[in-house]
Chain A
Amino acid sequence: GESVGLHLPTLSVQEGDNSIINCAYSNSASDYFIWYKQESGKGPQFIIDIRSNMDKRQGQRVTVLLNKTVKHLSLQIAATQPGDSAVYFCAENSGYSTLTFGKGTMLLVSP
């Protein structure tokens, strides 16, 4: 059969629901984290970032939560819309000049 690795974790929600996408990061020394959105056929786009001296940061309809104790990052999207359907990646600045990306989560929003 197909390798599990070919399939992205998928979150399916209804329009108007709140969405929570989770990410575990690897390096306890990472000091900066970013969430990206990638629509089909396009490059990743910046959504929101957070530094390690913060636990929470809010943007327009999005909130990022950082739990350094368990090395966990989450992205909350309020009132999810069909246009939010995309693959979402978390990234950490674990090396001085590079970002390490997670494998991504696909968000599917049904009207």
Chain B
Amino acid sequence: NAGVTQTPKFRVLKTGQSMTLLCAQDMNHEYMYWYRQDPGMGLRLIHYSVGEGTTAKGEVPDGYNVSRLKKQNFLLGLESAAPSQTSVYFCASSYSRGTGTGELFFGEGSRLTVL
């Protein structure tokens, strides 16, 4: 059981380049999330999805786009990378408790550096 898998694990980009981070989960979870983690800032929600074909903005969505074409996959895109997007990105998935989300299961992270 792989859980949540993120690819790639490391990437270096030049300012203005584009890239896509892929997240895959094999737990049949409805909810999926992309967070970024910066020193001293904790985990900040970028975008999330409550089901296949749906996405919503989180706390820091600017400069990112997402897609959830299949239930098991959640893609995070950077159309024109900026140095401020240098961060560690975490994908997570969760089930519904009926009254809200359950615990989040996280991937191992993707470290992105924008020069």
A positions within 8 Å CB-CB of B: 3, 5-8, 31-32, 34, 41-46, 49, 89, 91, 93, 95-104
Whether A32 pairs with B43 at a CB distance below 8 angstroms is no
- The chain B residue sitting closest to A48, CB to CB, is B103
Whether B40 pairs with A98 at a CB distance below 8 angstroms is no
Q: How large is the interface on B (under 10, 10 to 19, 20 to 34, 35 or more residues)?
A: 20 to 34
A3 to B40, CA, bound (A): 9
The answer to whether residues A45 and B106 also contact, given A93-B100, A97-B31, A97-B101 and a CB cut-off of 8 A, is yes
Partner of B106, one of A7, A44, A49, A96: A44
B74 at the interface (CB under 8 A from A): no
Separation in Å of the A89 CB from the closest CB of chain B? 7
Whether B42 pairs with A99 at a CB distance below 8 angstroms is no
Contacts of B90 in A (CB 8 A): 43-44
Separation in Å of the A93 CB from the closest CB of chain B? 5
Contacts of B58 in A (CB 8 A): 98
Contacts of B92 in A (CB 8 A): 43
A31 to B100, CA, bound (A): 9
- 0/1 interface trace, chain B 79-115, chain A, CB 8 Å (1 if under): 0000000000010100011011101111111000000
Contacts of B42 in A (CB 8 A): 89, 101-104
Partner of B100, one of A3, A32, A44: A32
Pairs across A and B, CB under 8 Å, 12 listed: A7-B40, A31-B100, A41-B109, A43-B90, A43-B92, A93-B101, A96-B101, A98-B33, A98-B45, A98-B58, A100-B45, A103-B41
B21 at the interface (CB under 8 A from A): no
- The chain A residue sitting closest to B30, CB to CB, is A97
A89 to B47, CA, bound (A): 20
